[in-house]
Structure 1
């Protein structure tokens, strides 16, 4: 596929005054920028299968509030502030266009851009506004951009036929705790991205075929849990397909290897404890000590840690004696543990 760059983006709809439900309805007509990483199996938030379900309007059985809903709301509400800080720091004019665009050559590729940049020389760029917490700023280290944001930016450049995108990220509460990254268009990467998005849309969404799970196991397990629902403890035993036999054997092999590693870790833990017993005895009730060999000084700490909790028996008493308090403050979450037992076939 050779890209044709002689085009202008089409306006799908004005987003001014759209309700959230209407906006989501238009997003389901194609692939948006925040969907791009999921199409490639690189999203930290959802699988390709989750994206397929969303585009097909298939609701999750466990429709829980997202764990990162606060971060999403904060990010949305601070977009204008992030854009303002970027403008002040760079001297560039930024402005929003409240429209959802689509690629005229690939109408299933959509873009709802945060802000556009006026470079003052007749050229236009894209500004994506992000927020993160102080502990996550390392994801932007060494002039890098988180991979899901990178592909969002490349997706937008493709739709808008523009050559530059800036990312502005606020990670603190002042203008100095601010990250700016610049990225230029790469037509080879863009061509591959469009090909993957086209394949996802035509081979899975339009044909109503579920895409495979290709992501990290924890993300896949969460996806399966949300779309199949809670466990049914009294359900019948499922006769699994013979093709799963290799997976079971691999699981057992990995479990055996893990047990050997854990045995070694336990041995090393014991040796570590043995090495500092005399130090702990000398510290007594003190929490810190130091020792020097003339060249280096070592600071030793043996600090207490406190954790509030309630044991199982006390929890049972609370449930019986004060069910009102129990119901108000105790929540039950479900997790499932996979195991394999081997026995002779009947």
Structure 2
């Protein structure tokens, strides 16, 4: 992100609370008093992990977002390695890193909160923020785009939020993706006034129009993210519930869904974007149906019926299978069968020289 160095009036953030002695429950209660950096990507619809509705439920105390993160091991690894990654950054840059155990609050936009990982004192005496991240080797490519070094958008907006709250103009990111110091990515972003203004507008809109008024925000995210959110918060399917009537925008969504399904039949139009658009509309309609298994829509003299029925089948998942083998080996050997199949695979290699033999 290009920095916009337009002159602005400086300010000091407020301190909402000291965090060093807070329990996790107390920390969550303070965080619900406003919007934190990790919330902003979801609020603005660019998070690959959660929806604005997830953050809304968190702020109202219905369910904490952290309880439903997809990979709890990754979260724990991030916490455990925070000090190590900070030390890697220090060794690579020569910059001293320090922590401030406080939750900050914007002096004007009081709904904006920041619990920053670490701070840096630059050689010219100014301060910068250090955000520490960890990822796996396969996900490291998210830090490059079109061959250029980037910060993933969902982290970039987090850094911009922290700069706005603290009135600091630079954020460094250090992301460890391997087990050596050379497998660490360092990026920097600068403050951008126009970007920040738009971000604050969206945050205020979310806080005032949804959280304070207790009106759930609409689902606008990718279909897979919406469906995952539904699995977390929606009650189980109930075939006894009456059919949901789709009207207004939902009726339009259904018509658009049918239109895209027709386009999908044309192989030349069957693109990834088309599939993503279909999945997103399906997820939005499923969210409208809630626990009901049926929806109806009367449009242009026709009645459209949507069914969203549960499909249940008994199974033993991978973790329970491992427990069964460990705790009850006799039962495991008696009832578990191993299936076999052949995998067809072609690999290209250097041709064998004339007169030689293949190994």
TM-score (norm 1): 0.72
Q: Provide the aligned C-alpha RMSD in A.
A: 3.1
* Structure 1: distance between partners of 2:140 and 2:44: 24
Alignment of 1:169-184 (within 5 A): 169-184=175-190
* Structure 2: distance between partners of 1:165 and 1:67: 26
* Structure 2: distance between partners of 1:242 and 1:191: 35
* Structure 2: distance between partners of 1:118 and 1:82: 17
Q: Is the Cα–Cα contact under 8 Å of residues 5 and 161 in structure 1 kept in the other structure?
A: no
* Structure 1: distance between partners of 2:100 and 2:67: 32
Deviations 1:303-329 (A, max 9, x none): xxxxxxxxx9998xxxxxx9x869xx9
1:77 aligns with 2:80: yes
Alignment of 1:161-310 (within 5 A): 161-232=167-238, 234-243=239-248, 244-261=250-267
* Structure 1: distance between partners of 2:67 and 2:235: 11
Shift of 1:200: 1.0
Aligned residue number for residue 296 of structure 1: none
Q: Structure 1 residues 123 and 3 mapped into 2: Cα distance closer, same or farther (>3 Å)?
A: closer
* Structure 2: distance between partners of 1:75 and 1:100: 20
Shift of 1:56: 0.9
* Structure 1: distance between partners of 2:106 and 2:47: 22
Q: How many residues align?
A: 272
Q: Is the Cα–Cα contact under 8 Å of residues 166 and 181 in structure 1 kept in the other structure?
A: yes
1:25 aligns with 2:48: no
Residue among 107, 115, 123 paired with 1:112 = 115
Larger Rg: 1
* Structure 2: distance between partners of 1:222 and 1:201: 23
* Structure 2: distance between partners of 1:45 and 1:183: 22
Alignment of 1:32-51 (within 5 A): 32-51=36-55
Q: Is the Cα–Cα contact under 8 Å of residues 14 and 99 in structure 1 kept in the other structure?
A: yes
Q: Structure 1 residues 207 and 314 mapped into 2: Cα distance closer, same or farther (>3 Å)?
A: closer
Q: Is the Cα–Cα contact under 8 Å of residues 164 and 196 in structure 2 kept in the other structure?
A: yes
* Structure 2: distance between partners of 1:314 and 1:31: 41
Shift of 1:130: 0.4
Q: Structure 1 residues 12 and 246 mapped into 2: Cα distance closer, same or farther (>3 Å)?
A: closer
* Structure 2: distance between partners of 1:74 and 1:314: 30
1:149 aligns with 2:155: yes
**Structure 2: runs of 5+ lacking an equivalent:** 1-5, 272-312, 317-324, 337-359
Q: Is the Cα–Cα contact under 8 Å of residues 3 and 191 in structure 1 kept in the other structure?
A: no
TM-score (norm 2): 0.69
Q: Structure 1 residues 236 and 111 mapped into 2: Cα distance closer, same or farther (>3 Å)?
A: closer
Aligned residue number for residue 343 of structure 2: none
The residue matched to 1:181 in structure 2 has which SS? strand
Q: Which piece of structure 1 moves more, 158-167 or 214-223?
A: 214-223
Aligned residue number for residue 337 of structure 1: none
1:160 aligns with 2:166: yes
Shift of 1:68: 1.3
Deviations 1:19-57 (A, max 9, x none): 111111110000001111111111111111111111011
1:140 aligns with 2:155: no
Aligned residue number for residue 90 of structure 1: 93
Shift of 1:145: 0.4
Q: Which piece of structure 1 moves more, 23-32 or 240-249?
A: 240-249
Q: Is the Cα–Cα contact under 8 Å of residues 68 and 232 in structure 2 kept in the other structure?
A: no
Aligned residue number for residue 57 of structure 1: 61
